[in-house]
Chain A
Amino acid sequence: MSRPDPAHTHDAARPHLAPARLLDIDPLLQDPKTRIVVCCGSGGVGKTTTAAALGLRAAERGRKVVVLTIDPARRLAQSMGIDSLDNTPRRVKGIDDSAGGELHAMMLDMKRTFDEIVEAHADPERAAAILGNPFYQSLSAGFAGTQEYMAMEKLGQLRARDEWDLIVVDTPPSRSALDFLDAPKRLGSFLDGRLIRLLTAPAKLGGRAGMKFLNVGMSMMTGTLGKLLGGQLLKDVQTFVSAMDTTFGGFRTRADATYKLLQAPGTAFLVVAAPERDALREAAYFVERLAAEDMPLAGLVLNRVHGSGADRLSAERALAAAENLEEPRIVDQEGGKAVLRNSPDTQDSSTSPTPETPARAAGPASDGGSPAEDAEDAEDTEGIEDAQAPGSAERSVDQLTAGLLRLHADRMQLLSREQRTRDRFTALHPEVAVTEVAALAGDVHDLAGLRAIGDRLAADERELPDPSAMPGASA
C-alpha cells in the first residue's frame, strides 16, 4: 500500500485545534505500578475491543496481563484465538512474548461466579440448599444489575490471586456503566439493612429495645409481603436471604476492599467514547462521576476518529468542483470557471494552459434536462468533441472524479463535526488527557487487528509506524 495512510496526516486536519492534553498510553501500561485498568463508556463505542487491545499491547511489552471481558462479541473472542471464553482465564496464544509477557483472557460468567462464591463460603450442605433455591437460581442467572456485582467480585478475586501484573477490565454494557461502582455499596447496604433482618428473623425484632414501635409495622409488613409474594415465595426468599447473609457475610468487606482498590493509585480508569454527540455526553458524565467518587481517571480514548490525506481541500470546494465536473454548461455560461481559476488556491502554474476539457460537458447532469437544453448541450460539446474526441471512458473518469470529490466532501464534513464534538468535550473538561484512535474501515478479526488498534492507541499520530505494518489500516 503505497498511498499515505489517512492517520498519518490526521493531525494536519485540525491544525487550529487547541491541543488537548495527550494521553500517553505506553507509560501507563508499562508502569509496574499500574495494576488495574478499567475501561468504561457507553455501548457501541468499542470498549471491549479497546480493553483487548490494551491487554495485548501491555503483554507484548512484557507484562503478565489478564483481560476480564463482560460480554465480548464472538468475533473478538475468536480474534484472541479463543472459541469461547469462560469464567477461567485462558492463555492467549500467538502473542509476541519476546519481552516475557503473557496475555490471558476471560469472560465473566455470572452464574458461575455466583455459584463459586456460595461454594467457597458455605458448607456443602448449605451450599446445596442455596444453589437449589428457586429465588437464587433466578437471581444468579443474571438479570440486569447482577452482572455488576459479579464483575466487581471477579475483579477482587483476580487481584487477590496476585498472579497477574495487570488486570484490564471491560465494564458491563449496563444502562449506566458506573452501576459497577455502585454495586458493592448497594449490596453492602442491603446486607446491613433492616430488611434483611426483617426477612431473616422477624420474630426476634419485637424483643429488641427501641424497636417496639416497629413491631406493629413489621408484622403488617411480613403479612403484606406474604400476601404479595405468596407464602411459598416468601419462604423461598427468606431461606435465600438468610443463606446469603451467612454466606456473603464477608462480601461487604470484600466489596469495600475492591472499591478502595479502584481508588488506589495502581488503578487507572479510561473512559472510551466515539466522537459523536451522545457518546461524548455519556463520557462527560463518566468523567464527572469518577471525579466525584475519587476514582483515578487516566484519560479519554476517542475511538473511530476520521482523518483525510487531502484535508486542505475543503468540503465546499470539493462540492463546487464536483458540480463543475457534472454540470459544465451552467459553469461555462456563468463564467464560473474563471472564478475558480482565479481563486488563490488554484493559482498553479500548470493550471492556466489546461484546455477546456470537453468531457465535462457530458456529465450526468445533462440527463433529465428539457429537450431544448439537451440540444444546446449537444451543440456546446460538438465542436470540442471533434477536436479532442473524448471517449466514454473519459466521461466516466469525470463522473468518477466527481464521485471522489463528493466522497471527500462527506469526509471533510464528518471531520469538522467530529472536531466540534471533541472541542466541546475538551472545553468542558480540559483536564482530561485524550488519545485518538483513527477509524478502521473494517472490524477487528485477529491479534494483528488488535495490535493495530494498540498502535493507534499509543501513537501520537504523527509518529505512527509504517502503515503497511498495520493490517486493515487503509486496505
Chain B
Amino acid sequence: MSRLQVVSGKGGTGKTTVAAALALALATEGKRTLLVEVEGRQGIAQLFETEALPYEERKIAVAPGGGEVYALAIDPELALLDYLQMFYKLGSAGRALKKLGAIDFATTIAPGLRDVLLTGKACEAVRRKERSGRFVYDYVVMDAPPTGRITRFLNVNDEVAGLAKIGPIHNQAQAVMRVLKSPETAVHLVTLLEEMPVQETADGIAELRSARLPVGRIIVNMVRPEVLDAADLELVRTVPRSSVARSLSSAGLGGARRGGHAERLVDPLLTQAEEYAERYALEHEQRAVLAELGLPLHELPLFAEGMDLAGLYALARELREQGVS
C-alpha cells in the first residue's frame, strides 16, 4: 500500500470528501494518517465540522480501533518560509524577503513555485520519521488539485529540477520526484457517472501515465441507488397507463378513472421514470468507459441528505470493505 495517497478529480465530484474518508479508512486499527489540503478552501474543516485549520498538523478525528487522523491545510506563504528555514535557517532574512514582496512573488506570481512548496511539504511529511525510526505518519492523503491540473502539479519538481540544474533546490526537487514517481505514491481519481467527469478522468489517466506518475484507483462517487432495474424500465415503455392507474389506486392514492387522483399521477410518474431511464442508460455507458481504463474501480453511494460526519465514517467503512485501505 502506497504511503502517499493523492486524491484528484474533476471539480464537483467530491474529491475532498473521498480524501477525508480515505484518511479515516487508512487510520483504522491504530494507524496514523495525515490529511493534507493544498487548495486553501478549508473543505476539510467543514467536513469534520471543526473551525478553520491553521497551518499546523492537528488531530481532527479518531478512527475505529484507535487510529488517528491529523489534518494540515498548507499555506503557501508559510510553507515557503518553512522551506527556507529548512535549508538556510533564514529567520530574519525570511522576513526581509517577505517585506520585499519576494514571498508574494514566489507564491503567487510564479505559481509554479507554489506547487513546488505544496508537493514538497507533502513529501516531507511522508518521509518524516520519529527518533525511533518509525514513520510519523503511516499514510499521507492529499486532497489535490483537480484532474485538469494534477499532472502538472505533481510534475512541477521535474521542471524545477530542469531549471535549477544544481544546488539545493535541484536536489530537493529531485528528492520529491523520486517519491512521487515511486510505488510509494498512488494517484486516485474521483469521478461521477457522468460524461464530462468520466472523459476528464480518462484524459487525466493518460496524462499521468505519460508523465510516468503512478495511477492508483478510480473512485466513482455519489452513485445513486438502483430504484428501477432494466426489466422495470422495459415495462415502463409498454405498460398500459390504466394498469398503473389501477395499481396506484389500489395503493390508496385515489381514483383510477380518468381525472381521478391516481390517474393524474400516472403521467408525471412515467415522465420521471423516463428521465431515470435516460440517466440509467448514460450511467451504464459511463461505467463501461471506466471499466476499459483497466484500473481498480470502486463505487461509493450517494448520501441523499448531504455529507456529514456520520456519512464520512460510513464512506470510510465502505472503502475498507472494498479493500481500498
Interface, chain A (partner B; CB < 8 A): 3-6, 9, 42-45, 71, 73-75, 134-135, 138-139, 142-146, 173, 175-176, 186-187, 189-190, 193-195, 198, 217, 220-221, 224, 227-230, 232-233, 236, 274, 276-279, 308-310, 313, 317, 320-322, 324-325, 337, 340-341, 343, 345-346, 348-351, 354, 356-357, 359-360, 394, 396-408, 410-411, 413-414, 417, 441-443, 474-475
Contact = CB atoms under 8 A, between A and B. Distances in A.
B48 to A, nearest CB: 15
Contacts of A411: 272
Interface of B: 10-13, 39-41, 43, 84, 87-88, 90, 93, 96-97, 100-102, 104-105, 108-112, 114-115, 145-146, 148-149, 152-153, 156, 159, 162-170, 194-197, 199-200, 227-228, 231-232, 235-236, 239, 243-244, 246-257, 260-262, 265, 267-276, 278-279, 282, 304-306
- A-B pairs, 3 with minimum CB distance: A43-B11, A44-B12, A309-B268
Contacts, number: 273
A189 B104 contact: yes
B195 A75 contact: yes
A175 B279 CA distance: 30
B284 to A, nearest CB: 13
B246 A310 contact: no
A6 B272 contact: yes
Contact of B167 (A198, A228, A405, A414): A228
Interface of chain A: mostly helix, strand, loop or mixed: helix
Contacts of A198: 100
B250 A175 contact: no
Contacts of B256: 350, 354
A227 B168 CA distance: 8
B13 to A, nearest CB: 7
Contact of A325 (B10, B247, B267): B247
A410 B268 CA distance: 14
B275 to A, nearest CB: 5
B255 to A, nearest CB: 3
A400 B279 contact: no
A343 B40 CA distance: 53
A397 B244 contact: yes
A71 B148 contact: yes
Most buried by A among B146, B156, B162: B146
A176 B40 CA distance: 9
A341 B235 CA distance: 28
A375 to B, nearest CB: 24
Contacts of B268: 3-4, 6, 9, 308-310, 408
Interface of chain B: mostly helix, strand, loop or mixed: helix
Contacts of B11: 42-44, 173
A230 B251 contact: no
Contacts of A309: 267-268, 271-272
Contacts of A139: 110, 112
A337 B274 CA distance: 29
Contacts of A322: 251
A403 B280 CA distance: 14
Contact of B257 (A221, A228, A350): A350
B12 A407 contact: no
A230 B100 contact: no
23 contacts: A43-B10, A135-B163, A138-B163, A143-B156, A173-B146, A194-B101, A195-B102, A217-B93, A221-B102, A228-B87, A229-B169, A230-B164, A236-B163, A348-B255, A350-B249, A350-B260, A354-B250, A360-B250, A396-B235, A397-B235, A406-B227, A407-B269, A413-B305
A195 B274 CA distance: 62
Given A143-B156, A176-B41, A397-B243, 11 more contacts: A44-B10, A143-B114, A193-B104, A346-B253, A346-B254, A396-B235, A400-B239, A404-B269, A408-B269, A443-B194, A443-B282
Contact of A175 (B40, B227, B304): B40
Given A145-B108, A173-B146, A404 B272 contact: yes
Contacts of B195: 75, 442-443
Nearest to A190: B109
A175 B262 CA distance: 49
Contacts of B112: 138-139, 143
A1 to B, nearest CB: 9
Contacts of B105: 190, 193, 195
Contacts of A351: 249, 252, 254-255, 260-261
A349 B252 contact: no
B227 A403 contact: yes
A254 B134 CA distance: 55
